[in-house]
Structure 1
């Protein structure tokens, strides 16, 4: 039995529930971050805001995103934990705002 839990990858019900909760929180943050990016890049002053974001220190970028309201979701009173950081990371990786207004991700099958 000890081998099953250590080398076999077995988990207890409590550990499995915690892993499921963590995965759900990460998925929620990823979805909120993607919506944040779309709101950011479709705004009329997106180019200026991207320049301001890139000029902001890395540890303050999540505050810039939160203060700008891009991470706010309709019907949800508080920000999704981790979404502002993910959104800021995705936006900081962009060189320019996409011309068609929608971020294109590389998808390889």
Structure 2
């Protein structure tokens, strides 16, 4: 079987073009693999859920009779330990959960920061 002379350069050109297209697409055009798109969607969904639950955390803080004492201790504490203190207060624990959520505690702390 005789193959045309142009076959080899055409195949190399097609392979080079496909590689260049993939490089440009993934590096600059914003293409994503299914796995990284799934991770981004999960992170975005978690952030939205946390944002929706912040008012619940603030309401828990407002209903706590020891709110002033907890906020005073938080104000005196170093910044890195404030989220842990908020978690220990129970304000960032959702009904039915056994443990508080650290992301919710950080977001709630940002909202409560105006109070102390």
Instruction: Settle same-fold status: TM greater than 0.5.
Output: yes
- Displacement of 1:32: 3.2
The C-alpha deviation readout for 1:50-109, integer Å capped at 9, x for no partner, is: 2232122111111211111111111122222411122122212335xxxxxxxxxxxxxx
Structure 1 unaligned segments of length 5 or more: list them: 96-109
- How many pairs were matched up? 95
Task: Tell me what 1:75 maps to.
Answer: 96
Superposition map of 1:5-20 within 5 A? 5-20=26-41
Superposition map of 1:26-65 within 5 A? 26-65=47-86
RMSD of aligned residue pairs (Cα, Å): 1.9
Matched, 1:24 2:53: no
State whether residues 28 and 80 of structure 1, in contact with CA within 8 Å, keep that contact through their aligned partners in structure 2: no
Structure 2 unaligned segments of length 5 or more: list them: 1-20
Q: Secondary structure at the match of 2:115?
A: coil
Give the number of the structure whose alpha-carbon radius of gyration is greater. Answer: 2
Alpha-carbon distance between aligned partners in 2 of 1:37 and 1:55, rounded to the nearest angstrom: 20
Alpha-carbon distance between aligned partners in 2 of 1:85 and 1:37, rounded to the nearest angstrom: 12
TM-score, normalised with respect to structure 1: 0.72
